[in-house]
Amino acid sequence: MGHAEAYDDEGTPAEQTRRTFMVQATLALGGVIGLGIAIPVVTSLIPSADALGSAWSPLTADELAQLKKATDKPIKVSFAVKSQDGYLPAASTDEFVWAIKADEAEMKAKRPELYEGEAKLPYPVVNLGFVIFSPICPHLGCRYAWIDAQNKFACPCHGSQFTSVGEHIAGPAQRGLDPLPLRDQSGTAEITWIQYAQNVSNHIVLSYST
């Protein structure tokens, strides 16, 4: 009986406090170590632009004709995005982008963040006299639309709004619209389809498709 009473003795209040502190400190230290391990693992899942390289989708003659109709008001340009998985046959998906006829000086004046700072793009914003915008809202990935009567882009999901050159003017989006690369390859216009991380202020490449 005496031994049982000694075993059940929880000690003085001071000793109980010390034990509680050591348990909490051990749990907290384990959490910090776990977080330190988790951050590099999560970061490593986001490939860089250099690691992915670049992949291009050529526009057909009809698609190029669509592009050339773009003026200072955006126009929707459809094209085929091809994807290749190591375990599956190549597939093609119909997609679209928004194109606008633009001047480099105007874009630098209205979208300076695309040319300098953390959101700077590693490719030309204006090419062949056009800017190509991804149709994916940089907030949470909905598809926005051009509202001609209001002369702006608007996202129906959460109310983000953008000017014709992609400036963010209202709503929760943390950056303006994302330009996509455009180039002339031996007389053929080509677009790179890029998926960027959403709801961040800079451009983090998630994937390329062609």
CATH number at residue 73: 2.102.10.10
pTM above 0.85, yes or no: no
Q: Are residues 60 and 129 in the same domain?
A: yes
- pLDDT category of residue 203 using cuts at 50, 70 and 90: confident
Q: Tell whether 191 and 113 lie within a shared domain.
A: yes
pLDDT tens digits, one per residue of 162-177: 999 999 999 999 999 9
> Which strands form 88-101's sheet, in the order they lie side by side?
75-85, 88-101, 130-133, 179-180
72 and 149 part of one domain = yes
pLDDT score for 205: 81
Number of domains in the chain: 2
Q: Where are the beta strands (DSSP E) in the chain?
A: 57-58, 75-85, 88-101, 130-133, 145-147, 152-154, 161-162, 168-170, 179-180, 182-185, 188-191, 193-196, 205-209
Structural domain range at position 145: 49-209
Dihedral angle of Cα 71, 72, 77, 82, to the nearest 10 degrees: 120
Q: Do 120 and 168 fall within a single domain?
A: yes
pLDDT tens string 31-67: 433 333 333 333 333 334 443 344 778 888 888 888 8
Q: For position 138, what pLDDT does the model report?
A: 96
Instruction: Assess whether 106 and 20 both reside in one domain.
Output: no
Element (H, E) at 173: none
Residue 89 predicted with pLDDT over 60: no
Share of the chain above pLDDT 70, in %: 68
Q: Are residues 153 and 200 in the same domain?
A: yes
- Asked whether residue 122 falls in the same domain as residue 145, the answer is yes
What pLDDT, on a 0 to 100 scale, did the predictor assign at position 46?
34
Collapsing DSSP to helix, strand or coil, 5 comes out as helix
Whether 23 and 93 share a structural domain: no
For residues 92 and 38, membership in a common domain is answered with no
User: From CA 176, how far away is CA 198, in angstroms rounded?
Assistant: 11
Residues 19 and 89 in one domain: no
